[in-house]
Amino acid sequence: MAVSRYDQRKNLEAEEANAIGTEYVRTDLLPAQDQTKVRDLLRRYVDQRIQYYGGVETTAVSSDSLKLQAQLWWSVVGAGIAQPTPVVALVISGMNDVLNSQGYSRAAQLNRIPTAAWALLASIAIFANMLLGYRERRTDLLVLVVLPLTISIALFLISDIDTPHGGVIRVVPTNLVSLSQVIHAR
């Protein structure tokens, strides 16, 4: 479960970067003043998403993210109201994809291994160790250490993979970082 969710988080990060990159290119279809404003907002938004994947999730970051999303949305909607053409509608649709991709990524971050599954894993670990201890009549410390150590390492890895904003194994936003470098260079 943890590995599939980790893969899902990686894929959604790539999709999010793709949606933002596509929208950045689509801003060429907007009038010049709107184009500049939306591009600046998208640059700030990418930087904020990189912070999010880096583990910075505070109330201030979440609040800033919501404000930035509202600014992004209303900047393209304003252009659509001023110039209601199919081309501008494409830009609005692209911004919808950007905002949706953030929601999907957030949902994947919150999707964790259920408590009942953790309880089952802990029960199996405890009973396996109890059976080993019960069966071991002579005191061979190496045998009594290997199974608990192996189970501990396995549970640690599962827990680490299942923790999106902490631990050793994380989704590194390589796609968003690459996108940030490209759009900041323009």
pLDDT digits (tens, 9 = 90+) for 89-118: 999 999 999 999 988 988 888 888 888 988
The answer to whether residues 17 and 76 touch, using CB atoms and an 8 Å cutoff, is no
Euclidean distance between CA atoms 179 and 114, whole angstroms: 34
Q: Residue 81 carries which side chain, given as an amino acid letter?
A: I
Mean pLDDT of 74-90: 89
Residue 169 neighbours by CB under 8 Å, 6+ apart? 6, 157, 160, 161
pLDDT tens-digit map of 135-174: 666 666 776 778 788 888 888 888 888 887 777 787 888 8
The answer to whether residues 24 and 183 touch, using CB atoms and an 8 Å cutoff, is yes
Question: For the whole model, what pTM was predicted?
Answer: 0.80
Which pLDDT score, from 0 to 100, does residue 136 have?
Answer: 66
H or E element at residue 140: none
pLDDT at 5 > cutoff 80: yes
Which pLDDT score, from 0 to 100, does residue 56 have?
Answer: 63
